[in-house]
Structure 1
């Protein structure tokens, strides 16, 4: 009888800790990560057995607004450094945890055999190009990068009437895949991902004269009470995470110890 009471008491003491360890880690991830974020989460679980990681993907600007307004995400993986930096300034994230985790590139992509994307952005002057897909420059950093490249090459005004604006870079890619746009300016990571390998043809757009797409991770204010949040952000700098990101078409920032 006494032995049974001891076991029951030990079980009750262990229960709160067990529940805490299974509290989901809520991660808001930029859409350019959609093809590799599950692999990153799986690799993190190997380092943190039992971790319950819940992923949401979408436009960085939308997540910025949601987190600023109290959305309970613990980690924000933005497609730029601007949004997480602003969250830190607003007190909605911990600036001490901000770190770059990837560097993005943009490509001109098509699934239409009529178009030779090796011509680069000048191809967009072709009158046969009726629709061009990009992410929303107001909320999606890759859309902002596409606009910057078009402005650099003095094409922005000419192509505006033909633009199809995706809420995020993943939706912009869908427009091309479904034939709703003949060409798209999307992320290299999208076309290099295992699920998209061999689909269509792409041409890397020069980043000369435009700001690099440096992507930042940060622990939000809500994540300050979730121990796995800071651990996940640090994990993104690990050899395992960097290998996954590089394999999926991302450049890598300098190692930050």
Structure 2
């Protein structure tokens, strides 16, 4: 696969203002600490979470803390990169993947306690910043027209080689028959959050990102988006699993993800409720 990766500092600075997610970083950590009984702080368990969860899971974690008094550390990044880090001994206690196949592989290899649970189904959207020549429509008719007219210079997706949302973007573009035309213009985000930064930077005409990020507070004011048909790509069945070293707080957060309150928050950010196989 041939593609162009965008890394100019101008992209990163402008994207940082748009989404505040730290452009260029593979992992964004939200440091949260919980006190010991004696009052001295200690590290909270680390949750490795797909970057499409940035807004939704941060809100769930805040509700978890308010309801239980317990806290977790959220680390957001590419599902594929997290899987590789887990195999190398990264000290995560819970893995929330954007594609359940990564959980299945880790479970077969003995890194997780069990096969875990589905927690959501994700959706992808075509997004374009205000002022772009590109109109956001889920059927990608305008994208096809703008590509034909030579008006698309940069189009952002996550890297399909390790980011499930990038792979689904590729599948949708192939389904629409636009992959070959758009490929020379691709800018690849390390994860879908970075792809969102590039798509809304004003230096790209648009991109394909997670619906959950398009529904974030900043993105909604910066651009327009439209859902891409679910049957244009493989489903984004998102699964979570406790790792072998998970402690009681990680276990409690895992259980909390199944509560009505957590699922209501997830639905607000465009995730479909999980349906077990």
Using the size of structure 2 for normalisation, the TM-score is 0.80
Moved more, 191-200 or 173-182: 191-200
Distance 1:16 1:201 in 2: 45
Contact 1:27 1:73 in 2 (8 A): yes
Q: Which residue number corresponds to residue 122 of structure 2? A: 104
SS at match of 2:222: coil
1:162 matched to 2:152: no
Distance 1:157 1:183 in 2: 17
SS at match of 2:162: coil
Quote how far apart the aligned CAs of 1:117 are.
1.7
Aligned pairs for 1:85-234 (under 5 A) are: 85-96=104-115, 98-113=116-131, 114-118=133-137, 120-125=139-144, 126=146, 127-223=150-246, 226-234=247-255
Greater C-alpha Rg:
1
Q: Which residue number corresponds to residue 18 of structure 2? A: none
Distance 1:40 1:18 in 2: 27
SS at match of 1:138: coil
Using the size of structure 1 for normalisation, the TM-score is 0.85
Moved more, 66-75 or 247-256: 247-256
Distance 2:140 2:121 in 1: 21
Contact 1:35 1:195 in 2 (8 A): no
Contact 1:134 1:184 in 2 (8 A): yes
1:40 to 45, 60, 65: 60
In structure 2, stretches of 5+ residues that fail to align are: 1-34
Distance 1:186 1:25 in 2: 28
Quote how far apart the aligned CAs of 1:64 are.
0.5
Q: Which residue number corresponds to residue 74 of structure 1? A: 93
Contact 1:87 1:93 in 2 (8 A): yes
SS at match of 1:130: coil
Q: 1:137-173: per-residue Cα shift (whole Å, max 9, x none)?
A: 1111100110111111222122111111100000001
SS at match of 1:118: coil
Q: 1:198-252: per-residue Cα shift (whole Å, max 9, x none)?
A: 32111111122422111111101221xx112222112111111001111111111
Q: Which residue number corresponds to residue 4 of structure 1? A: none
1:45–1:158: structure 2 CA closer, same or farther, 3 Å change rule?
same
